Amino acid sequence: MSRLQGKTAIVTGAASGMGTAIAKLFVEEGATVTIADIQDEAGKALADELGSNAHYQHLNVTSPDEWQTCVDTVINADGKIDVLVNNAGIIKFAGILDLSVEDIKTIMDVNVMGVMLGTKTVAKHMIEKKSGSIVNISSADGLSTANALSAYCASKWAVRGYTKATALELGHIGIRVNSIHPGGIDTPLANQMNVPREMFDQGFKPYPAQRAGDPMEVAYAALYLASDEAGYCMGTELAVDGGMTAGHYYYHLPGAPEQ
Ligand X SMILES: NC(=O)c1ccc[n+]([C@@H]2O[C@H](COP(=O)([O-])OP(=O)(O)OC[C@H]3O[C@@H](n4cnc5c(N)ncnc54)[C@H](O)[C@@H]3O)[C@@H](O)[C@H]2O)c1
Q: Contact positions toward ligand X, by CB under 6 A?
A: 12-13, 15-19, 37-39, 59-62, 87-91, 110, 137, 139-140, 182-185, 187-190
What's the full length of the chain, in residues?
259
CA pair distance 160, 256, nearest whole angstrom: 30
Catalytic annotation on 152? yes
Mention every residue, 6+ apart, whose C-beta is less than 8 A from residue 241.
Answer: 140, 181, 182, 183, 184, 207, 213
| Dist. CA 23–CA 137, nearest whole Å | 14
**CA atoms of 127 and 141, how far apart (whole Å):** 31
- Which of 8, 12 has the CB closer to ligand X? 12
Using the minimum distance from each CB to ligand X, give the nearer residue, 132 or 183: 183
Q: Which is nearer to ligand X, 9 or 185 (CB)?
A: 185
CB of 104 to ligand X, least distance (A): 15
Report the amino acid identity of residue 35: I
The whole-angstrom distance between residue 47's C-alpha and the CA centroid of its chain comes to 19
Sign of CA dihedral 47, 50, 51, 55: negative
Closer CB to ligand X, 127 or 216, in the complex:
216
What CA–CA distance (Å, rounded) separates 55 from 46?
9
CA distance 68 to 138: 23
Least separation, in Å, of the C-beta of 66 and ligand X? 8
Q: Which of 143, 142, 160 is nearest to 151 (CA)?
A: 142
Choice between 61 and 151, CB closer to ligand X: 61
User: How near is the Cβ of 180 to ligand X at its closest, in Å?
Assistant: 8
Q: Could you tell me the smallest distance in angstroms from the CB atom of residue 129 to ligand X?
A: 25
Question: Which residues are within 8 A (CB) of 195 and not within 5 positions of it... i.e. 6 or more apart?
Answer: none
Shortest distance, CB of residue 63 to ligand X, whole angstroms?
8
In whole angstroms, how large is the CA radius of gyration of the chain?
18
Q: Of residues 56, 152, 162, 207, which has the active-site annotation?
A: 152
Active site residues: 152
